[in-house]
Amino acid sequence: MRVSFSVFQRFVLFAALLAGFALAQARTTALPDFTTIVERNAPAVVNISIIQNHPGALLGKNLPLPELPENSPFGELFKRFLDPHGGGMPHGYKTRSTGSGFIISPDGYILTNRHVVDGADEVQVRLSDHREFTAKVIGADEKTDIALVKIDAKNLPVVKLGRSDNLKVGEWVLAIGSPFGLEHSATAGIISALGRSLPSENYVPFIQTDVAINPGNSGGPLFNLDGEVIGVNSQIYSRSGGYMGLSFSIPIQVAMNVADQLRATGHVSRGWLGVAIQDVSRDLAESFGLSRPVGALVAQVVAGSPAEKAGLRLGDVILSFNGKEVEDSSALPPMVGASPIGKAVDLGILRDGREKHVQVVIGKLAENDGEVEPARFGEPEQAASGRLGLVVTELDSRRRQALKLRGDTGVLVEKVEPGPAREAGIRPGDVILMFDKRPVRDPRELKKLIARAGAGRTVPVLIQRRADGPMFLALRIPKS
């Protein structure tokens, strides 16, 4: 009995050790090995140096020199930095900044960020074998922050391009670049989110990662575990100026679409629909009869646009674009922008509580897509009040022209008292264009529409705001 127990103990101990070893091996093999990816692709990643020439003094032009004692040792110093004729810098000065890029063709085409080369008087490219070239900027696109540059060389190593439309949150990725000028630095992490929309970046569904990206990484490649480039590192979110765990990359398919156009024509053409859109909130979803917040809500249709020609209306909710679901408003601009000009596409929309399909022929987005000057108003001449806490007035032709309003719709909000209107977000100076999906032409008509709206309902209200443009707000009608 004593001998068999000892054998049993040995068996249990051996089994435990074997299981621990197997677990350690599993954990080891589960972690990716990036060494091969770096070895294969580092030669195709380049350092980009930007030189800018600045005429005149370093700190300003013709700034007054401070009064100093005669023969003061600081006299020459101030002349050097403040006086363009001081002799220390007769030809101005130069500044240098660095970024990253990667070679996409053996004959020297290189992809990088627009902000890396913007304003450059000279662009220098340094390869991994220490060769240096002066590069030519073929073209740059502000809306996507992509630039294409070219060096005079042949038989260069190139990266392998992947696809960015089949990525998954959680998969490993690797970045190679020159943070703070430290060439060919490799950092790794995972994809944190996909299709991320950033302020003032309407045409890029960013890849968000936790890869360490710092100044100098901009324009460098983001690789998947197959060693394929799936993004161009572009931005970080930071309160310190350095990496804080949030990095954003431009999907490679977006970048290459831009690069191909820059290479062919020197500029980029984008599809245009001609609508102003907004997200659908939970309250707006209820008011439009949606089961959940989804889609892009049409708040404005531009006159003469493809959307107007196709019959799109204010209050339509775009649910799909050419068969692809539009989850929120930020998903629509990249789809439209990447569509071939002149191509007919299918829009799935919700109108008056029913789903239908509309065919739209994509137009061409103008370079300057219409900035609206802020309107200024005088004192209102007539006013009317309602049970929602609103005091409104009629719009005269001058105010209507200042806001570039079409037709005869709209009443100006003069005052917002405590109540449902203020809770909905309506402010003084807003113009109410539609109430409960019906146009508002004067204060009397608004009063009738408010009276007809059922108590306890949430209704959509379309307003025009001076700075923000048209938008829908969800307003709940009080029960009493």
Digit-coded pLDDT (tens) for 330-358: 889 989 988 889 999 999 999 988 999 99
What pTM does this model have? 0.71
Classify residue 110: in a domain, yes or no. yes
Same domain, 351 and 399: no
Q: What is the mean pLDDT of the chain?
A: 82
Same domain, 289 and 255: no
Classify residue 119: in a domain, yes or no. yes
Annotated catalytic residue 115: yes
Q: What is the pLDDT of residues 4-55, one digit of tens each?
A: 556 656 666 666 676 666 655 545 456 889 999 999 999 999 999 998 887 7
Give the count of beta carbons closer than 10 Å to the beta carbon of residue 177. Answer: 29
Measure the CA angle with vertex 54, ends 48 and 59; round to 5°. 120
Q: Which residue among 150, 169, 194 closes a domain?
A: 150
Classify residue 167: in a domain, yes or no. yes
Give the count of beta carbons closer than 10 Å to the beta carbon of residue 101. Answer: 29
Residue at token pair 């089994």: 15
Same domain, 221 and 307: no
Classify residue 373: in a domain, yes or no. no
Same domain, 48 and 115: yes
* Domain CATH number, residue 139: 2.40.10.10
Same domain, 344 and 295: yes
- Over 70: is that where the pLDDT of 430 sits? yes
Classify residue 93: in a domain, yes or no. yes
Same domain, 66 and 140: yes
Q: What is the β-pairing status of strands 109-113 and 146-150?
A: antiparallel
What secondary structure does DSSP assign to 226-266, as a single string?
A: TSEEEEEEEEE--SSSS--S-EEEEEHHHHHHHHHHHHHHS
Same domain, 177 and 253: yes
In angstroms, the CA 477 to CA 190 distance is 47
- Angstrom CA distances, 274 to 120, 188, 311, 337, stand at 34, 40, 12, 11
The C-alpha torsion from 85 through 86 and 90 to 95, rounded to 10°, is -110
Annotated catalytic residue: which of 83, 100, 141, 145? 145
Measure the CA angle with vertex 372, ends 368 and 374; round to 5°. 150
Annotated catalytic residue: which of 49, 97, 192, 218? 218
Same domain, 389 and 459: yes
What secondary structure does DSSP assign to 107-154, as a single string?
A: TSEEEEEHHHHTT-SEEEEE-TTS-EEEEEEEEEETTTTEEEEE-S-S
- Over 50: is that where the pLDDT of 372 sits? no
- Over 70: is that where the pLDDT of 368 sits? no
- Over 50: is that where the pLDDT of 451 sits? yes
pLDDT of residue 414: 84
61 or 435: whose pLDDT is higher? Answer: 435
Structural domains counted in the chain: 4
465 or 381: whose pLDDT is higher? Answer: 465
Q: Which residue among 364, 395, 425 closes a domain?
A: 364
What is the mean pLDDT of the segment spanning 87-91? 51
Nearest residue to 253 (alpha-carbon basis) of 347, 171, 365, 335: 335
- Angstrom CA distances, 1 to 5, 6, 8, 220, 278, stand at 6, 9, 11, 69, 79
Domain extent at residue 94: 42-150
pLDDT of residue 23: 59
Name which of 350-359, 395-404, 415-424 the model is least confident about.
395-404
Amino acid identity, position 224: N
Annotated catalytic residue 130: no
Q: Residue 118's pLDDT band (boundaries 50, 70, 90)? A: very high
64 or 121: whose pLDDT is higher? Answer: 121
Name which of 87-101, 318-332, 411-425 the model is least confident about.
87-101
Name which of 121-135, 139-153, 156-170, 238-252 the model is least confident about.
238-252
Same domain, 256 and 304: no
- Over 80: is that where the pLDDT of 406 sits? no
* Domain CATH number, residue 283: 2.30.42.10
Q: What is the pLDDT of residues 155-200, one digit of tens each?
A: 999 999 999 888 999 999 999 999 988 888 999 999 999 988 876 6
What is the mean pLDDT of the segment spanning 223-235? 94
pLDDT of residue 217: 92
- Over 50: is that where the pLDDT of 403 sits? yes
What is the mean pLDDT of the segment spanning 225-243? 86
Same domain, 164 and 259: yes
Classify residue 113: in a domain, yes or no. yes
Annotated catalytic residue 357: no
Q: Which residue among 95, 126, 150 closes a domain?
A: 150
pLDDT of residue 302: 87
Identify the DSSP state of 385.
E
Nearest residue to 184 (alpha-carbon basis) of 217, 218, 233: 217
Q: Name the helix (H) or strand (E) containing 37.
A: helix 35-41
Classify residue 77: in a domain, yes or no. yes
Classify residue 22: in a domain, yes or no. no
Same domain, 466 and 403: yes
Give the count of beta carbons closer than 10 Å to the beta carbon of residue 417. Answer: 12
Same domain, 113 and 140: yes
- Over 60: is that where the pLDDT of 289 sits? yes
Q: Residue 411's pLDDT band (boundaries 50, 70, 90)? A: confident
Name which of 17-31, 100-114, 377-391, 443-457 the model is least confident about.
377-391
